[in-house]
Chain A
């Protein structure tokens, strides 16, 4: 029996090739994910070890507070300590060659340790030794065009300019924050002065025998500090980054599992078709004495052979994918180590092979069971019956139950209070609904094919008609084939609905937040000293500009907790929407707070709350209005303009809103704003359009990443369509020959198969688009933000068109084979 199976396998090896490819791709993606993340983890471990092992003991605050300078002095006195240095850091805006602070956020200034404790990798030049020395991270130096020997200017916390000589360049390693902001390194004293850090982030200690040194230092610092040896620190940092790598792995694996699920459908379909085609063969085997178990076993063995071969190949593909992804990430300069040797752990091998095996053999079990049901007499029947399909009662009941349950769970998710549970409910509802669709899909195939085939049937004459008929011929087969594609399309639609809804909602919100043409902000944010009022005054003088409105922000303790407080902007158009009370009532001694904060803290109009001010001590203010926080950038509470001055003096403006004078072109107005802002290094000018543009880009990026990752599932489903078609073409060899004999040209025959694939692709897309839109809506409903639901019609139409195209593409090879076949041979084959 085994020999018969293997012979059969060899005979059908071409037909199994596409199936194997589906498994290979899925396993490859999963294996590649492990290879990629494992290698990154190894890289992190290596980097942290190399970094932290330079110190013998490290002291950090448990609460993330700064470590007071006195502690450093005490530690230096501990016996056995040969050296101890504090590390500190904070915003230190670097000015670019145009005199403006670089980047969207201030550059981070850090202290560079020296001697045995030097941890920074200076890649060229030397570390800072004099108060006027500074070093820059390589990337910032490159993008801002600074070279060793240049003079660079950095702002101190008050905004004063200080010049430094650039003496070296350094590598920020795997520090993601420094990689993002850019970094400038000074000696410890200079760093302290430039960042106004009150204490240290970390104290590094050198000395013999780290363990006993650690215990001695720990005894000194007390329980508020974490005292670790360098090795312990490296391990902890690596663990923290491993958790991140773990999330990354999980994220990728989700897509791997989706791909494997699609592959499972493809395998299930292939084996089903193979069994159907070999009915007579099976029956013959039964006639000559093979038992049901033997028939079952022969199919299972076939699937095992396919599984082993393609899983092993998938593992190899995975290694390649992992290495390729690392190379790409390295090229893109991702802040993660990509240069560690490729890591292939035994777990990766086991998981990849196991997943491939379980999915393949599991999916082949149902077809194998179907094979055992072939009665021996089938060998004697001359013509095999056309598969008939009736929507059985059991199927309808199951489908109904699934769909009802799915709809109910989704409805609960949509109507319940927004939050994580709501989203989980929607996801669960989506999964159950999908199962329902999977069960009911064979019933949907005929009507949907009629819809999708309406145009082809009318446009393409006989080939069109035959193609649509063929696509309706075997609803079960068509259903599994198209549902595989549906998965990818559903998720793509969902993502595109979610992003377009977010886009629309955020745009509406931005319009409300920035009802002006330009906004000038302080790069240093609310912690900075703000923009001087001279800037706003100068803007008001500019003939090109109309409205100029300043907002001032500060942080203050309101009712005991730190909140962002704003003055009431003078222009009504820049004020947030009032949800209760009114800004007219915002008289001296009163305050307005955000409605979310009010509801969280159970505050109502008329309540009096204490506000800690800098100029007037703690004052009691009465609540007279609630406003919508989503309409403003950051503020949680709003004070009358005069009160704000009285309580907090006149801090610089956090933002200045500017509109062009009526009739002045935007670019002219912009040049005017920039000219005024030029002397203020940290004043950043942005147009409302730019802010929208940035957001758009971020969303496009999300769309692209998801599209790319879902691409694999879509690719596998296209393989599935190709596979089903080529198996169908094989089954219909005789029919193809017949229509060719009756006068269908080769081109028409090819076209007929392409049309059939087009119809299948369109059906898959139609179901997917409906599901994706509904669940995209449900997902947005469960989010704790107000959204304006929008359907990205253009993207969805594109998706439908691409699905159809994918189908046509999948048909090319089978169609060519069908068209090439000789009529006489094909007639003889029957």
Chain B
């Protein structure tokens, strides 16, 4: 914990609560979460189904409103921003990789990659673009449309898209959930390389202990609460912690 105080945080949540519905039907998805995500680190969020992982990620990314507490990205407190401000924040400072349907079917792979920059009216960093495309092995696929790409290729395009705008943080919700283990491993190692080589901050939700082991740190949720965390995880330590949680 001593190290935490010294490192820079890309995203910080304090006392974060989220309640769906009202009265008897109210579901307390997050019950007060304090967590920081270090800049330049790859953090995984794990927990049993229904523990609030997706909710936490949506709240952190400004996709969903919070019930209580604050979320700060960089120096900006995002809780309380208007929809328009949140949209611009997402556009300029956040990248996303979803589990599926990440790409617009009408655009080619390259157009999909450039999409966030185009929306913002920004020029792509050509050096970065070339490097990302080369590293992801997408060079010969740039002119293809999503329907002509495999699931793994589609996810790699999504990752490239998230990286290209050099966001402060990338949120990924089960990015490898729909992939076979080999394609999954490719995507994950690429995510890790982008943290190592580009200093990218990544927050990833996953069910898979193997996927979590690519991260620098794994935090565990249960019933809307942060219960524990593991640094420098291996598949085995993650699995053990999960088993302990579910017991």
Contacts and interface: CB of A to CB of B under 8 A. Distances in A.
Interface of A: 382-383, 385-386, 461-462, 465-466, 469-470, 472-473, 734-735, 738-746, 748, 822-824, 827, 830
A692 B83 CA distance: 60
A386 B102 CA distance: 15
B91 interface: yes
Contact of B90 (A473, A743, A748): A743
Contacts of B87: 740, 743-746
Task: Say which size band chain B's interface belongs to.
Answer: 20 to 34
Given A382-B100, A744-B87, A824-B58, 19 more contacts: A383-B101, A386-B105, A462-B118, A466-B104, A469-B106, A470-B106, A473-B106, A734-B101, A741-B63, A742-B90, A742-B115, A742-B119, A743-B90, A743-B92, A743-B120, A744-B91, A823-B64, A824-B63, A824-B64
Contacts of A744: 87, 91, 119
A743 B91 contact: yes
Contacts of A469: 106-107
Contact of B84 (A385, A472, A745): A745
5 contacts: A738-B101, A738-B104, A741-B96, A746-B87, A830-B101
A738 B98 contact: yes
A462 B101 contact: no
B91 A742 contact: yes
B168 to A, nearest CB: 13
A743 B104 contact: no
Contacts of B116: 742-743
A382 B161 CA distance: 23
A827 B98 contact: yes
Contacts of B120: 743
Contacts of B104: 466, 735, 738-739
B88 interface: yes
The 10 A-B pairs of least Cβ separation, nearest first, read A743-B91, A469-B106, A462-B118, A745-B87, A824-B64, A462-B119, A830-B101, A743-B119, A734-B101, A742-B116
Most A C-beta atoms less than 10 A away, residue of B83, B84, B104, B106: B106
B121 interface: yes
A830 B100 contact: yes
Interface in B67-117: 83-84, 87-88, 90-92, 96, 98, 100-102, 104-107, 115-116
B147 interface: yes
B69 to A, nearest CB: 18
Interface in B111-151: 115-116, 118-121, 145, 147
Which secondary structure dominates where chain A touches chain B? helix
B105 A741 contact: no
Most B C-beta atoms less than 10 A away, residue of A465, A742, A827: A742
Contacts of B88: 743, 745
A681 B26 CA distance: 91
Nearest to A819: B83
Nearest to B107: A469
B107 A823 contact: no
Contacts of B84: 745-746
Nearest to A385: B147
Contacts of B115: 462, 739, 742
Given A743-B87, A744-B87, A738 B121 contact: no
Contacts of A823: 63-64
A830 B173 CA distance: 14
A742 B164 CA distance: 12
Contacts of A740: 87
A735 B104 CA distance: 6
Contacts of A830: 100-101
A472 B105 CA distance: 12
Contacts of A738: 98, 101-102, 104
Contacts of A827: 63, 98
B108 to A, nearest CB: 10
B203 to A, nearest CB: 15
Nearest to B84: A745
Contacts of B119: 461-462, 739, 742-744, 748
B30 to A, nearest CB: 14
A469 B107 CA distance: 8
Contacts of B102: 738
Nearest to A744: B119
Most B C-beta atoms less than 10 A away, residue of A385, A462, A743: A743
Nearest to B111: A465
A629 to B, nearest CB: 63
Nearest to B87: A745
A627 B169 CA distance: 89
A716 B58 CA distance: 42
A745 B68 CA distance: 25
A681 to B, nearest CB: 76
B194 to A, nearest CB: 18
Nearest to B85: A745
Contacts of B100: 382-383, 830
Contacts of B83: 745-746
Contacts of A466: 104, 106-107
A120 to B, nearest CB: 75
B107 A741 contact: no
Most B C-beta atoms less than 10 A away, residue of A386, A462, A472, A746: A462
Contact of B96 (A465, A473, A742): A742
B42 to A, nearest CB: 21
Interface string B46-74: 00000000000010010110000000000
B80 to A, nearest CB: 18
Nearest to B95: A742
Nearest to A822: B64
A759 to B, nearest CB: 13
B180 to A, nearest CB: 13
A461 B121 CA distance: 8
A258 to B, nearest CB: 34
Contacts of A742: 90-91, 96, 115-116, 119, 161
A741 B104 CA distance: 13
A822 B20 CA distance: 14
Contacts of A735: 101, 104-105
Contacts of A748: 119
A386 B145 CA distance: 11
A468 B22 CA distance: 42
A746 B96 CA distance: 18
A465 B121 CA distance: 13
Contact of B147 (A386, A461, A465, A739): A386
Contacts of A472: 106
Nearest to B100: A830
A382 B101 CA distance: 11
A751 to B, nearest CB: 12
A383 B178 CA distance: 12
Contacts of B121: 461
A684 B178 CA distance: 89
Contact of B118 (A383, A385, A461): A461
Nearest to A468: B106
A735 B103 CA distance: 8
Interface string B22-49: 0000000000000000000000000000
A533 to B, nearest CB: 82
Contacts of A822: 64
B239 to A, nearest CB: 28
A818 B129 CA distance: 32
Contacts of A746: 83-84, 87
A258 B91 CA distance: 48
A390 to B, nearest CB: 15
A731 to B, nearest CB: 11
A740 B115 CA distance: 12
A540 B115 CA distance: 82
A470 B105 CA distance: 10
A821 to B, nearest CB: 12
Nearest to B83: A746
Contacts of A473: 106
A746 B118 CA distance: 16
A462 B91 CA distance: 13
